[in-house]
Structures are given as structure tokens and as C-alpha cells.
Amino acid sequence: MSKAEIPVGLKELLQGYAVEVLRHRPANLAEFAVQHFTSVLEKQKQNQRIKKRSKPAKKGVTFETNSNKPKKDEEEEEKEEDTVKCTTGKYNRRVSVCAEAYNPDDDEDGDSEPRVVHPKTDEQRRRLQDACKDILLFKTLEQEQFSEVLDGMFEVLVKPQEHIIDQGDDGDNFYVIEKGVYDILVLKDGVNLCVGKYNNKGSFGELALMYNTPRAATIIATEEGALWGLDRATFHRLIVKNNAKKRRMYETFIESVPLLNSLELSERMKIVDVLGARVFKDGECIITQGDKADCFYIVESGEVKILIKSKTKAGQQDNTEVEVARCSRGQYFGELALVTNKPRAASVYAVGETKCLVIDVRAFERLLGPCMDIMKRNISQYEDQLVALFGSSVDLKH
Ligand code: 1OR
Ligand code: 1OR
């Protein structure tokens, strides 16, 4: 019998797994192995795709390189050494400025990729900053990375019925909405179903870029609108790299959140990828009763108090607020309006400086489905409390 041969690459593969186990010390080795090897496989596929895809930049974007731009003073020249300036903001969605996908493990400090800068007028920059101020994916970036993101964004004007993204395509850009209404369509049993809308705010197109998967939905403008695009390579270099850091930062905390216990490790990590972090000052209002809801919160540190406006005997609301509950580390709030599709049922205020992890409504619907039963059970308890407090029978779920 011939001696058993060790397949090429086996040693490295197992060593890689062992190193990650030592770095992350996961509670469940088998679950962690599934996640680790899935990510190795995705990277292999990604590298194959890059090899196939690497073509020179096409029309629609021109570069101003050091050789063809007018001479500047030395200091300025030095600052721009690693910068590629794109002199047109013209929208061409099939062209990514730097088509290479970014793998954070290949490039620890990310300095080898040239910076993409789309010059903007002051007025454009102001509009861009305004559109980006509540984008959760940007909320855990350092100031420096955030300004690189802003530099790399380019304006995209869209017409009614324009398809910004088609389900099944490869991902090219990530988009932040400045204005306009956009339908989200998902193919189900051969039929395109409208599963939601973006209404003048938010962002989309992150999934295909983060996980190297085909576009998961079709996005169509229903009216004239304006978007800010960020090309795939810059998204990888700044956002995906930051996600690796976020996973390390939040892994332990997220594992300790009781609500998320029933999720697989990979599902919990997908939550970490899209969450933002916000710090609130003592007394600051986080949620206002009656407002439209667009996100969900988990307390990371500090405490929040939940107040509802009391009702008069005639059942009308007066303006006195009554404290009904508090949430501290690991507890969540702001799910009720998302589950019921109703306005916020209570106001929430920070008690002392409080840090919350924030998940937007779309990610909530996509990723927290498995936790829905627990949330609904807890909502039934709110109803009992409401009856006890105000003596009326209410159904918060409908
Ligand atoms: P993408 O790069 O896959 C389409 O391109 C984008 O649509 C996607 O990133 C998200 O940013 C956005 N499921 C998947 N993608 C969604 C969804 C969604 N909603 C918005 N996008 N669902 C709807 C959740 C309300 C789940 C449908 C079953
Ligand atoms: P939301 O999206 O409606 C306010 O925004 C949040 O406060 C709400 O989701 C819940 O997460 C949270 N009644 C209503 N909302 C409550 C309650 C509550 N407690 C926490 N929230 N009651 C207190 C039950 C202990 C019943 C009130 C009498």
C-alpha cells in the first residue's frame, strides 16, 4: 500500500484555523470552524473573480495622474502622492474606479491602494455630509477614514424608473441616498415583489460588496433623485477593513446579548458588520414617542429610561411623561415600532453618558427574524403593564 500523501495546502489551512481559534477563543469550535472555512472559501472565490475581472478602467472616469497635471508646490505634491483624482463625477455604474477587491488580511495598513478623490464644490460637500450624517456603516469609522470615504464618493443623478441595482448582478458601488424614493424588489418564485422602500434617506448596496455575493435585491428609482456612490475598491479598503476591526471589538459583547442567543455565530457577525455605534449625553433624547421608526438599539454601556405620555380619564394624551422601564448593558429597545409598523410607543432618554449599538430597520428585518418570537413575547408583557398602569386594554402589536 502506498504511503498516504498529505494534500498540498492542508497544513496551512489547519494552521490558519488554529491561529484564528487562538486569536478569538470561540466558545463553539465546530461553529467557528464552519464560519472560518466559509470565509476562506469566499476569499478563494473572490480572488478567482478578481483575476477574471482585472481589466483597465473603462470610459466614464478619467484620472488626473502626476504626469499630466499642472505642477504644484512640493508639499502639495507630497500629500497627493497616493491620491488618484477623478476629474469627472459622471455616472457610469458599470465602471468602478479601482476594480480590485480589497482583502483586509492582505494589507494590514491599507496604504498600498491609491486614494480615490472625486473633487467637489463646497455646496456638493455640504449636501454629501448631510446625506451621510446618519449612515450607520460610517458611524464606527475614525474621522480620517470618514473623510476618505467622503472624498471617494461621487454624485449620481437618477431618473424615474432607473434601475440602480439589479438583483443577481456583481456589486460595483455602494450608495447613500441624498434624495428620492427607491423601491426594493426581491425575486420570489419568479415574481419581483416590492418588499420595501427607501424614502429620501438611508443607503443600499453594501451586501454584495461586503460578502462578494450577487446583488440580493433590485433597487429602482420611482422619481428623480440624487445618490452618492462609493466604488467597490474604496468601500473594501475603508468599510470592509473597519468591519474586521468591528468584529474583534464587538464579538464578545454581542455574544452576551440574551436576545441574540438563538443566532448562529455567523449571523451575529453579520449584525456586527452593519451596526453603528452612537454615544448619547446624559438626558439626551434617543427616541421620541410618536416619531416614525427607522432603527433598533442595544445598550452597550450606561442606561436608558423609557417614558410614556400618560392619558387623561377621557383617554386623551396629556404631556406628562411617566417612566415605565429602564434598559442597561445588553438590553434592547426600539423594536416595538419596527415589529408593529407603528409610530414609536414611548420616548427614550440616556441616563448618564450612554453608548448604544444601532441597527437600521432593513438590517433588523433581514437579520433579526429568528429573534422575532422572543421580541413578540416581551411585547405582550408591555401590553400587560400598560393595562396595569392605565387600566385600558390595548394591543401594541396591531
Ligand atoms: P446588495 O449589494 O445585495 C441590493 O444590493 C441591496 O438592497 C442590498 O445590498 C441591500 O443594501 C438592499 N434583502 C437584501 N437586500 C436588501 C433588502 C433585503 N432590503 C434592502 N436591501 N430584504 C428586505 C428587508 C426589508 C429582505 C428581503 C427578503
Ligand atoms: P418603540 O419602537 O415603540 C420606544 O420605541 C421603545 O420603548 C419601544 O419600542 C420599546 O422597545 C420600549 N411600552 C412601550 N414601549 C416600551 C415599554 C412599554 N417598555 C419599553 N419600551 N411598557 C413598559 C413595560 C415594562 C408598557 C408601558 C406601560
Fold match between 122-238 and 262-390?
yes
Which residues have CB under 8 Å from 12's CB, separation 6+? Answer: none
- Cβ–Cβ under 8 Å, residues 177 and 200: yes
Q: How far is the CA of 216 from the centre of ligand 1 (A)?
A: 5
Angle at 61 between CA 71 and CA 242, to 5 degrees: 90
- Cβ–Cβ under 8 Å, residues 101 and 50: yes
Whether ligand 2 lies within 6 angstroms of the CB of 336 is answered as yes
Which of 116, 112, 155, 111 has its CA nearest to residue 132? 155
pLDDT at 333: 98
CATH 1.10.3720.10 fits 122-238, yes or no: no
Residues 330-347 pLDDT 10s: 999 999 999 999 999 999
- Highest mean pLDDT of the ranges 7-16, 304-313, 340-349: 340-349
DSSP string, 186-233: EEETTEEEEEEEEES--EE--HHHHH----SSEEEESS-EEEEEEEHH
344 labeled part of a ligand binding site: yes
Residue 171: which pLDDT band, with cuts at 50, 70 and 90?
Answer: very high
Question: Hey, where are the domains in the chain?
Answer: 122-238, 262-390
Q: How far is the CA of 306 from the centre of ligand 2 (A)?
A: 7
Instruction: Please measure the distance between the N-terminal and C-terminal CA atoms of the chain and give it in whole angstroms.
Output: 71
Query: Ligand 2 atom 11: the closest Cα is on which residue?
Result: 333
pLDDT at 377: 92
Q: How far is the CA of 240 from the centre of ligand 2 (A)?
A: 34
- What gap in Å lies between CA 164 and CA 224, rounded to an integer? 12
Residue 3: which pLDDT band, with cuts at 50, 70 and 90?
Answer: low
Determine the 3-state secondary structure of 2 from DSSP.
Answer: coil
- What gap in Å lies between CA 92 and CA 156, rounded to an integer? 9
**CATH number listed for the domain at residues 262-390:** 2.60.120.10
Ligand 1 site, CB within 6 A: 165, 171, 184, 186, 195-196, 204-208, 215-217, 219, 362, 365-366
